Amino acid sequence: MVVLKSPSEIVLMRQAGQIVAVTLAELKERVKPGITLAELDEVADRIITQHGAIASFRGVPNSDPDAPAFPAAICTSINEEIVHGIPSVRRLREGEILKLDVGAYYKGYHGDSAISVPVGRVSKEAEELIRVTEECLWAAITVARAGNRTGDIGAAIQNTAEPKGFSVVREYTSHGVGRELHEGFTLLNYGKEGQGMLLRPGLTMAIEPMINAGKWGTKVKKDRWTVVTIDGKLSAHFEHTVAITDGEAEVLTRLDS
C-alpha cells in the first residue's frame, strides 16, 4: 500500500534524513587507505546514536529465513560489491571504491542514503562510474515530481547510464520509505517514460541507482548478504530519500548547509 505523508510527518523524516546526512559526511572524511570497515561502522553507529536515532539496517531480516539478520549499523560494499556488504576488519586499499549505505530511524521514521567514495587515487573508469552514477541519481530526482510517473524516474536513470556504456542493476530497486525502511512500493531503476505509478505530493521514497561498469547481472556471496556483480566488474551506488511535493522533490537526506 502506498502511504502519503502529512507535512508534520515530512518534518520528522527531514530530521531522520539529516542524521543520515551528517553521518555520511563524517564517514566520507574518514575514507582513506588503512581504515577498516568495522571502524567506519563504529563511527556511524556512534553518530546515529548520539542523535537519539537507531541504525535502520541492524537486524533487518534476510530474504532467506535460514540466513542471519543484518549484523551491523551500515552497509559497506567494495569494488564489485554492489550493496549490502557487511562491515568487517578488512582494511581499505588505495584505488578501491567504497559504497557507504546509511539508514537512521528517528521518532518513527527512516532516512536512507548512500554514496560511493574513491579510496585515494582510483582508475579513470572508476572515477567515471562514480560520477555517472551520481548523475543518474540527480537525473531521477529532477523528474521525481507530482504528475510524473515511476517510469519517468527509471527512464531518467537508464538514459543517463547506458549511453556511457554502463548498465543498470535490475534485481534491486528503489523503494518507498517512511515508517518502514521499505514501505509500500518498489520503483525500478529502469523503464519507460509515462509508465508506472503516478507520483503524488506526500509520497516519500528512497531513489537508489546501482550502476555497473559491466553487465547488470548480480549474485549474492556466501555470507548471504553481499550482492556482487556477476562479472566481477565495478559497481557504484548513490541514494537519497526524497519527498514528492507540488514542485521540485525535497531531498530529505541532503546535508543542510
Site string for Mg ion, 214-243 (x = CB under 5 A): -------------------------x----
Closest distance of CB 101 from Mg ion, Å = 4
Site string for Mg ion, 174-213 (x = CB under 5 A): --------------------------------x-x-----
Q: Residue 159 carries which side chain, given as an amino acid letter?
A: N
Closest distance of CB 165 from Mg ion, Å = 25
Q: What does the alpha-carbon distance between residue 1 and residue 140 come to, in Å, rounded to a whole number?
A: 22
Residue (164 or 254) nearer to Mg ion, CB: 254
Closest distance of CB 73 from Mg ion, Å = 12
Q: What does the alpha-carbon distance between residue 111 and residue 220 come to, in Å, rounded to a whole number?
A: 25
Find where cell 527531514 sits.
14
Non-local CB neighbours of 185 within 8 Å, separated by 6+ positions: 2, 150, 175, 176, 197, 205
Question: By CB under 5 A, what part of segment 74-113 binds Mg ion?
Answer: 101, 112
Residue (31 or 207) nearer to Mg ion, CB: 207
Interaction between residue 126 and Mg ion (CB under 5 A): no
Asked if residues 252 and 5 have their Cβ atoms less than 8 Å apart, the reply is no
Residues binding Mg ion: number (CB under 5 A):
6
